[in-house]
Amino acid sequence: MEQLVRHHLGSDLSSARRDAAAFLDNIAGEDEYEGGDRQNWFARWKQIGDDHHVLGDLNLKVGAFAEAAEAWLCALTAFEIAKRLVNETDPQSEDVSAKVDGGIQRFRSPHLQKLEQVKIPCSEQADLPAYYLRAGSRDLPSSAVICISMEQETGATLLGRLLPVMTGRRMSALVVSHGDVSHGSRGQAETLLSHCLDYLAVRPDVDATRIGVYGEGLSAALATEFAASDDRLAAAVCDGGLWHWARIVASVAWMTRNTDRAVDHDVMSSRRKRILRRLRCPVLVVAGGRGIVNVSEALKLQADCMAACIDLELAIPRIISCPGREIENFVIADDCVFGWLEQKLARSTAPQPMSPRKRDQ
């Protein structure tokens, strides 16, 4: 384990992410993970992040802007590892989160001109705050992804994790928080997310025919409802309707007081597919880990979709079991998800409507 956290400040981002993934994969079963040794790992990764921040700032002073950005991205990856080594209630976690916020602000440097804090115009309420990470230009518009953080997570927290994985992918990202889009009446989230899509569709650096959505945790269910309501989306990383389906099943069982576990599998399969047919873009369902999607239900859904020739793929993140907790290998999981989005959005040839088209529910 020692060599996996020994860092070289001259290393590039790809090397830093390989080291991070290797560390997470090898932490399982380590006796030294518990107690004071776990604190040592936390302190080391935090120090790696701090050192890369310093290196990035030095590079910025001498005008080496690309090198500065790469060092800051390495720092964000290191801080993400550190966060996962302590509990969310630990004061040290707040300290690392503050460092992530500081790292994000570095990318708002006028020398980089990649990150903006924007307001999405909404007729129903106050403007929606968001981060916009630009990849394209007027001459070469890029694809774009609306990214929704998981519940009880800020947009900045998600952005700090995604900045390194988005680099070099030629995809722009609009990052919003779950709390900002999930409140209000039923259907309000879809309306707010459609405003996000409106915003992206008129930007000259975005190809309006290649916009996707990505939701984490309960936001995966929001992403499903959004994809079902707006035809303009070209790809969706969502829950495939499984959260909604699980609530229906639980509600029916409660109302009927049905304790019989025997079910009509053909009926269940048909209803699962009915939900998916509302989504006319390619779908990726992420099951297990910190998400809301059960792996066994996701496998059933995937089998149903294969039989019906519905474009749905399944991703199951690698979860590392440690004493008293589980840690997701976010490096590999994020590369998988955004590699899929990059591929699907590159292939899209969807029409470019000027306004959202609501489907019949």
CATH number for the domain spanning 42: value is 1.20.1440
CATH code (residue 279): 3.40.50.1820
Residues 28 and 77 in one domain: yes
Q: Which of 59, 148, 144, 143 is nearest to 109 (CA)?
A: 59
Residues 171 and 237 reside in one and the same domain: yes
Sheet holding 128-133, edge to edge: 115-120, 128-133, 171-176, 142-148, 206-215, 235-238, 283-286, 312-315
Q: What is the pLDDT of residues 57-94, one digit of tens each?
A: 999 999 999 999 999 999 999 999 999 888 777 788 88
Q: Is residue 40 part of a domain?
A: yes
Considering the domain architecture, whether residues 128 and 52 belong to the same structural domain is answered as: no
Residues 35 and 147 occupy one common structural domain: no
Total number of domains constituting the chain: 2
Q: Are residues 74 and 141 in the same domain?
A: no
Establish if 359 belongs to a structural domain.
Answer: no
Q: Is residue 286 part of a domain?
A: yes
- For residues 9 and 90, membership in a common domain is answered with yes
Structural domain boundaries enclosing 54: 2-106
Tell me if 56 is assigned to some domain: yes
In whole angstroms, what is the distance from residue 194 CA to residue 200 CA? Answer: 10
The amino acid sitting at 62 is: V
| Same domain, residue pair 287 and 267 | yes
Q: What angle do CA 98, 103, 107 make, to 5 degrees?
A: 145
**Are residue 11 and residue 75 in the same domain, yes or no?**
yes
Confidence of residue 242 (pLDDT cuts 50, 70, 90): confident
- The pTM score is 0.87
pLDDT tens-digit profile of 8-32? 455 689 999 999 999 988 875 555 4
Structural domain contains residue 360: no
SS3 state at 180: helix
Measured distance CA(75)–CA(99) in Å, rounded: 9
Between 357 and 180, whose confidence is greater?
Answer: 180
Both 143 and 276 in a single domain? Answer: yes
In a domain, 200, yes or no: yes
Residue that terminates a domain, selected from 53, 73, 106 = 106
pLDDT band at residue 111, thresholds of 50, 70 and 90? confident
In angstroms, how far is the first alpha carbon of the chain from the final one?
53
Q: pLDDT-based confidence at 7, cuts 50/70/90? A: very low
For the chain, what percent of residues have pLDDT higher than 70?
Answer: 81
131 with 264, same domain: the answer is yes
Same domain, 275 and 318: yes
- Helix then strand then coil, in percent of the chain rounded to 5, is 50, 15, 35
Mean pLDDT of 160-174: 94
Domain assignment of residue 239, yes or no: yes
Q: Is residue 184 part of a domain?
A: yes
